[in-house]
Amino acid sequence: MASLNPLSTLCLSYLLLLTLFLSLAEPAITSSKSTKIGQGYRLISIQDDPNGAITGLLQVKEKNDIYGSDIPLLRFYVKHETESRLRVHITDAKSKRWEVPYDLLPREQPSPLKQNIKRLKKNSLSVSEHSSSELVFSYTSDPFSFAVKRKSNGDTLFDSNSNESDPFGPLVFKDQYLEISTKLPKDASLYGLGENSQPHGIKLYPNDPYTLYTTDVAAINLNTDLYGSHPVYMDLRNHEGGKPNAHGVLLLNSNGMDVFYKGTSLTYKIIGGVLDFYFFAGPTPLSVVDQYTSFIGRPAPMPYWAFGFHQCRWGYHNLSVVEDVVENYNKAKIPLDVIWNDDDHMDGHKDFTLNPVNYPRPKLLNFLERIHNIGMKYIVIIDPGIAVNSSYGVYQRGMANDVFIKHEGEPFLAQVWPGAVYFPDFLNPKTVSWWGDEIRRFHELVPVDGLWIDMNEASNFCSGKCTIPTGKVCPSGTGPGWVCCLDCKNITSTRWDDPPYKINASGLQAPIGFKTIATSAVHYNGILEYDAHSIYGFSQTIATHKALQGLQGKRPFILTRSTYVGSGKYAAHWTGDNQGTWENLRYSISTMLNFGIFGVPMVGSDICGFYPQPTEELCNRWIEVGAFYPFSRDHANYYSPRQELYQWETVAESARNALGMRYKLLPYLYTLNYEAHISGAPIARPLFFSFPTYIECYSLSTQFLLGSSLMISPVLEQGKTEVDALFPPGTWYSLFDLTQVIVSKDGTNVTLNAPLHVVNVHLYQNSILPMQQGGMISKDARMTPFSLIVTFPAGANEGEAKGNLFLDDDELPEMKLGNGYSTYIDFHASVKEGTVKVWSQVQEGKFALDKGWVIDTINVLGLNGNGAIGTIEINGKPTNVKIDTTKQNYIHGRGDGEKNIVMVGMKGLNIPVGKSFAMTWKMGS
């Protein structure tokens, strides 16, 4: 659920309100051509710090009053924090400025400035170089600029130097306006800077606006700020004749900003805070994300059931409807692991309550006992807005603990679903404790298995300073709940509510306090909402995670809408109020791939769209994509017709097919979850992660990888029964039909058949994919026998393949090897001179042995031969197993008619997963 509902009604009310605000607002500067606002700064002194850093003082060259007065003296600090991470921090030398709190995002604090700093006597160039670092820092003193280069090839990764021919000006640093730019080469491909729907695809598109400011504006969601703020980008370059080089750049700043990308330059325009840059050396896309998440926090471990299918709807009016949904999924033979409630279960939309009539507690507890017994889970929504209601215990305890954000000394009044609300201040330690206690109380009332935190940008149905109207009920109960019914007046008298520079908020230069918390409101210790706005959802996520961690010792599952740098350490994300359109189906792939780069790998979009009603064909195609999202959930709007996957028989068939494959892939997805947790590796990835030298895939946004080698090529257009798919160089095998082979010598496009119930999924060469037999619930599917699919380059006389598998007690808080409740297996295979070998190396095998897991089947693909095979030996002993040899067919490639390739399948192996094994045989020629 969110504040956005039927598109026509909402957009009209939204635009009417926005027009009123804009009539009072100063016009924004929207051009990316920056007037040179100042002459920049000169470096006047510098020193080496004992901790290996460089510290210096910058003095403004010439003051002006455009967007406010320049800060006269800045302090800059540079340090190689690791061999692959460089930090450049610039702030006011005399006064403390707002930064992302160090307790929310733990990191090293810059050392204090010393008094005996030496003075510079002339304009000079100096270099900071760590002996083992790939990154080299250099600066020019007058006007001050800095550059970051790659040591190995001399590439300039960031360069803020400006001259008369540059499209941007020098460094600008005012209280409410910061500006800095970098030059970029023409061959740089950029990714990131979200959350943004990016209609042109995952690769950043020159001249599209990128505004970062957490906002609930999904009805107008093209090229505008959305629910999250992630001021980080990845730069991938592939020089002719050279190796690809990727690096990452994070500007750790939570204030609103516009980022203008012109193709050969990138300019930040920020309305506060500090310049705190972190550079990540890469050089591969995967290593960039590894280095980035090592800094911001590794992604949270998810329970196994979270990778099952989820069903939700805003509008399950009573418990019997929820019970009916679960039963109908079972009747339709469509897998389902988690059933959700939007706010329908609440009493008057109030957090941590139950509707006594529609969701009576005894009946709900009975229902939960039944689904828990078969392994299903239950999750409900909570919003940050706490109803202003003197008879409401949550409100009473919140007031007693003084936990709410203030405005002019009183709790800031807003409106969301329950009517008038106050917003908890999660920067206040007392609020975190109170919030945890409310979650504990609710969990005792209803033993939910996770929490869904929504509307936490924060979303507000009103704007400005509001009071509760006298003499009428608000909301009335007869009109739409999202229409503001408080008495409100605009706040434009403060520089926080009306800053000198207007970011492109909401895509329409809306005032930054529009339909959210007033930016002059105050948090704990005098922190302004102006500064902390975009970390509101992040702070709520951390508080929620802390609370759930203390319940029953289980691994928390949290789904959050608003995110910031580091949110992936605590929660999963869905992409908010998407629309049931073909365009939104396509956008979902780009957004999912971006969040993998942002360090939030557990991500997905509302399957079939949140609103309006999707067509039957669209819902067919959407489940074929959504079945392969890391987070796979169907969710619909209150005002849309029902769209559970069983509502159309054609969709049910597509769901059984696509989700049937997902449930076989659950061990692979869970292993990717482990890899994400230990290295940040995204679960869903752009193709360039595995093929960084193949430039043709740099802008590809219609296909994606799960892990390094499983490629999804869905239909994304109405009326299509074929899909034109790009295949990077190598051999690819259809996962649904292992006999079908595509050989792409240098990379090519292939037209694939894709009738209504078919989604194309291909496995790359040199892979070993662990699978199970599937099932209706992940708990049951997890206990079925394993199979391995081993892929070699088609017809190769020599080759190697590898894969891995992680297994653990998935509800333990920690996800790690060596705790006595986990097992890790490396799988290997080789073929050489006709001898095939498949083997495993097991670490901590006891857990898998105790569970009784076995490998029943191994299929080896792409072998050169006539199908005859010699005696199979396992651990050096001959064995009799059922063997099938099947000829494989080229859909594309080769064409020479000379290569006979076969798949060798062995069934009934009964090999314990928890013990290392080695299997060998000889292929007949």
Q: Which residues are known to be catalytic?
A: 454, 457, 577
d(CA 683, CA 60): 46
Q: Please, what is the Cα angle at 398 between 516 and 487, to 5 degrees?
A: 40
Evaluate whether 735 touches 886 at the Cβ level (below 8 Å): no
Residue 646: which residues within 8 A CB-CB, separation 6 or more? Answer: 328, 329, 331, 332, 334, 652, 655
d(CA 609, CA 634): 8
d(CA 861, CA 879): 21
Q: For 518, how many CA atoms within 13 A lie in the half-sphere containing its CB?
A: 29
Look at residues 209, 171, 169 and name the one whose alpha carbon lies nearest to residue 193: 209
Residue 924: which residues within 8 A CB-CB, separation 6 or more? Answer: 834, 865, 866, 867, 868, 869, 870
Both tokens of residue 495?
A: 């520089």
Q: Where are the beta strands (DSSP E) in 481-630?
A: 487-489, 558-560, 572-574, 603-604, 606-607
Q: What is the DSSP string of 486-528?
A: SEEE---SSTTTS-SS---GGGTT--TTTTS--TT-B-GGG-B
Q: Please, what is the Cα angle at 258 between 252 and 262, to 5 degrees?
A: 105
d(CA 726, CA 691): 12
Look at residues 602, 584, 582 and name the one whose alpha carbon lies nearest to residue 592: 602
DSSP-derived secondary structure letter, 18: H
d(CA 562, CA 426): 14
Q: For 486, how many CA atoms within 13 A lie in the half-sphere containing its CB?
A: 25
Q: Please, what is the Cα angle at 815 between 809 and 817, to 5 degrees?
A: 90
> What SS3 state is found at 32?
coil
d(CA 678, CA 513): 39
Look at residues 618, 609, 495, 364 and name the one whose alpha carbon lies nearest to residue 69: 495
Both tokens of residue 698?
A: 């740099």
Both tokens of residue 348?
A: 């008057």
3-state SS of 757-826? Answer: CCCEEEEECCEEEEECCCCCCHHHHCCCCEEEEEECCCCCCEEEEEEEEEEECCCCCCCCCCCCCEEEEE
Which of left, alpha, beta for 40 (phi over 0: left; psi -120 to 50: alpha)? left
**Per-residue exposure over 29-47, b if at least 16 CB sit within 10 Å of its own CB, e if not:** beebebeebbbbbbbbbbe
Both tokens of residue 445?
A: 């009332």
Which of left, alpha, beta for 818 (phi over 0: left; psi -120 to 50: alpha)? left
**Per-residue exposure over 79-114, b if at least 16 CB sit within 10 Å of its own CB, e if not:** bbbbebbbbbbbbebeeeebbbbeebbebeebeebe
> What SS3 state is found at 331?
helix
Q: What is the DSSP string of 349-394?
A: T-TT---TTTS-HHHHHHHHHHHHHHT-EEEEEE-SPEE--TT-HH
Amino acid letter for position 657:
N
Look at residues 67, 90, 96 and name the one whose alpha carbon lies nearest to residue 526: 96
What number of helices (H) and strands (E) belong to the chain?
A: 14, 54
- Find the distance separating the first CA and the last CA of the chain, reported in whole Å: 62
